[in-house]
Structure 1
Amino acid sequence: MPVTDLDLLIATAKASGDIARRFVVDRPKVWDKGGGAGPVTEADLAVNELMAHELQRARPDYGWLSEETEDDMGRLATRRQFVVDPIDGTRAFIEGSQDWAHALAVLEDGEVMAAVVYLPMRDYLYAAQKGDGATLNGNPIEVSQKNDLDGATVLSNKASFADKFWADQTPPAGIERKFRSSLAYRMALTAQGRFDVMMTLRPSWEWDIAAGALIVTEAGGEVTDQTGAPLRFNNPHPQVNGVVAGSPVTRLLRAAFAASTVETPSPNA
């Protein structure tokens, strides 16, 4: 049995990938969750079942938070918790893209202590343990050192680039928007230094971002909500106020936001 929490997350992520890849071949059934929550597939549920079994069996005293499990508020009374997204980027999974991920994290007292983001179709395994740095397939990674907006690459959805969200009624000149469906993968790519910043101005579920948050910080980056406040996890309502993460240019990007945004971007953050 894996000894450390990180070992456990890695083993579970790889086992989850084995299950999910089978559904890629078999074309899973798809349902709509309703209420604007988006789609869910047989694969999401099968991976969730595997994760719950493996992780809770190994650490029965840890709380549990998953996108595909009804929230048990008993997690608030535990010191440590698992936070998982069985398939982050379900729409990409349904469409046959390779850019979906398993996201797994362990929290302790509101902080992420161990994290994995695994892309089974690409065999990319991003991992981090607090204080030990971040890796991709075992090799150290670090964020870019970009410190000005001119030429900065920003992973974000189109809605976050609407003029109303920016102080000058337009995004800063010179930045280039890119997109990936999975928030966890966006954060991992930023940790790897392939892009300078990832951002979403939409309230963000903890299961989408907890793993990526540690991977970015252990890669030397900065992770905050859209106001610049540090992220805290295991909240009673498990969302945070958007995310801005990456290289030193994140501070300049946040400074360009409008002082107040009444609305937040709509789905596909």
Structure 2
Amino acid sequence: MVGKKASGGRGGQRKRVRTQASATAKAQSVSRMKGGRYEADLRLATEAVRLASKLCRASQLQLRENENTNQTKRDKLESPVTVADLGAQAIVSWALQNLPNSGAVTRNDGFSLVAEEDSDFLRSEEGADLRNRVVDLVNNTLRGSGLKELTEAEVLLAIDEGRSEGGSDRRHWVLDPIDGTRGFVGNRQYAIALALLDEGEPVLGVLGCPNLSLEAEDLDARTAAATSSSESSSSSQQEDGSGYLFVAEKRRGAYKVGIEIEAGSSGSDAESGAPGDILGHRISVDEVDPNDAVYMESVETKHSDHAFARKVAENSGINKDSLKLDSQVKYGVIASGKASAFMRFPDLDYKEWIWDHAAGAIIMEEAGGVVTDSEGKKLDFSKGRTLNNGNGIVAAPPKLHRKLIESIKALGR
């Protein structure tokens, strides 16, 4: 566990009590409904992803400000996306271990995090400038949330907690601090993706999607915020203007809520049955006729064979053009009924990591969808850091999923 920094003096003690009380109230407000086995974990995961979303927004704003400047190779190495990747991993790792009530979810087998980044370069002499920027970004985020700042050593240790190998034993948190790096750099969609595995199976997932709107035509929350009336206070517009969190707990459904909407706050159509009682809106996949279906795929062609996906779609009766989005945001869009399917057909030698799909898969499944490999087999997250699956990913409502798998087999993938 990442150590806590002492604060001296009465003023420091009073401040620590106030900020800890504030954080406790926020964490507790995420959950009033009892009975979920992973409820405490979900509360922590939700708040951790909120913090990381705040950090990533600040970093992407800096990236946009720098996009027209000439950058050296070193500038790109230390670019805001690199800083945000490392900072988001540090802040999620720290939050899962140190936010109020985190001790309630730590079992005898200890804390395990399977994540994408490590601090090797940061610890080198060459990485000193990047190290300082990561620490500053983390502490700016914590300071703005009323939480204690971390030392440099604590930030590096938090990042390196992500070196776990995962597996089928015990519980493992799984994190992609910025899923959709090219989307982040390109000022498009990206996600902070956090899941919990228990004996190799996803049991909860949280997706933070800071740029997502489910109402704007381009699905961009920044468009929704710019075009919505400043006098409107409807729940849907508040959510769209802030981006979304998608959350799910095994056998308790999938829900969406605005990232900036205070946990536990009421909305005109909020539902109190959400896992962790986040008072979000329950979401479900939309089983439509193939003629009305829209399938999704990655923006980057190197991530998927778009031509083959088009053949599968047409063979299944889907004639509309695909909707291309970066990252696991796609799972949230389909789980919300705003699209119908997601297909991914990478090269045969492409390696999928468990953090690429763990959070999105359980959200999709709890929304009533099906997520498998291209052979129709359930995704296996129990084999370590890499995903043990066939060549491809298919996610869709049950009936459409069957059609897509049949088409893949008929086309001989």
| TM-score bin, normalised by smaller chain | 0.7 to 0.9
Give the aligned residue type for 1:118.
G
**What residue identity is the alignment partner of 1:193?**
G
- Equivalent position of 1:160 in the other structure: 305
Q: Is the 8 A contact 1:126 1:215 kept in 2?
A: yes
Instruction: For residue 172 of structure 2, give the secondary structure of its aligned residue in structure 1.
Output: strand
**Are 2:346 and 1:226 equivalent residues in the alignment?**
no
Q: 1:176 is paired with a residue of what secondary structure?
A: coil
SS in 1 for 2:379: coil
The DSSP-based 3-state class of the residue aligned with 2:197 is strand
Distance 1:199 1:156 in 2: 6
Change (3 A) 1:75 1:50: same
From 195, 202, 210, give the equivalent of 1:120: 210
Residue 154 of structure 1 and its aligned partner are, at CA, apart by 0.6
Moved more, 104-113 or 250-259: 250-259
Partner of 2:30: none
Map of 1:16 onto structure 2: 52
TM-superposed deviation, 1:135? 0.5
Provide, for residues 9-67 of structure 1, a one-character-per-residue CA deviation record: whole Å limited to 9, x for no partner. 100001111211221232385439xxxxxx96111111111112222453472322112
Of the two, which has the highest radius of gyration? 2
The residue that corresponds to 1:251 in the other structure is 402
- Residue in 2 aligned with 1:86? 177
Q: Does 1:186 align with 2:330?
A: yes
Q: Which residue of 1 aligns with 2:191?
A: 101
The equivalent residue for 1:35 is none
Q: How much does 1:253 deviate?
A: 1.2
User: Residue 31 of structure 1 corresponds to which residue in structure 2?
Assistant: 77
* SS of equivalent to 1:249: helix
Equivalent residue letter for 1:194: K
Partner residue, 1:143: 285
More strand as a share of residues = 1
TM score, norm. by length of structure 1: 0.83
Query: What's the C-alpha RMSD, in Å, of the aligned pairs?
Result: 2.9
Q: So what's the TM-score if we normalise by structure 2?
A: 0.55
Displacement of 1:77 after TM fit?
7.0
Give yes or no for contact 1:153–1:178 (8 Å, CA) kept in 2.
yes
Q: Which has the higher helix share?
A: 2
Structure 2 residue identity aligned to 1:24: Q
Task: Summarize the alignment of residues 49-60 of structure 1 with structure 2, pairs less than 5 Å apart.
Answer: 49-57=90-98, 58=102, 59=106
Distance in 1, matches of 2:319 and 2:313, equals 14
Give the gaps of 5 or more residues in structure 2.
1-23, 28-38, 67-74, 119-159, 212-220, 222-242, 258-279
Q: Distance in 2 between matches of 1:238 and 1:139?
A: 33
Moved more, 8-17 or 252-261: 252-261
Percent identical among aligned pairs is 29
TM-superposed deviation, 1:92: 1.3
| Residue matched to 1:199 | 343
Identify the range of structure 1 (222-231 vs 22-31) with the bigger mean alpha-carbon deviation: 22-31
Mean alpha-carbon deviation: is it higher for 168-177 or for 126-135? Answer: 168-177
* Corresponding residue SS for 1:181: coil
Across the two proteins, how many residue pairs are aligned to each other? Answer: 252
AA partner of residue 246 (structure 1): A
CA shift in 2, pair 1:23/1:40, >3 Å: closer
Secondary structure of 1:82's aligned partner: strand
One-letter code of the match for 2:321?
Answer: E
C-alpha displacement of 1:237: 4.6
* Counterpart residue type for residue 5 of structure 1: D
Match of 1:66 among 115, 137, 140: 115
Give 3-state SS (helix, strand or coil) of 2:166's partner: helix
Shift of 1:180: 0.3
Higher relative contact order (CA 8 A, sep 6+): 1
Report the 3-state secondary structure (helix = DSSP H, G, I; strand = E; otherwise coil) of the residue aligned with 2:91. helix
Aligned partners of 1:63 and 1:76 also within 8 Å: no
Distance 1:235 1:165, change over 3 A: farther
Q: Distance in 2 between matches of 1:231 and 1:173?
A: 24
Cα shift at 1:90: 1.2
Bigger shift: 18-27 or 166-175? 166-175
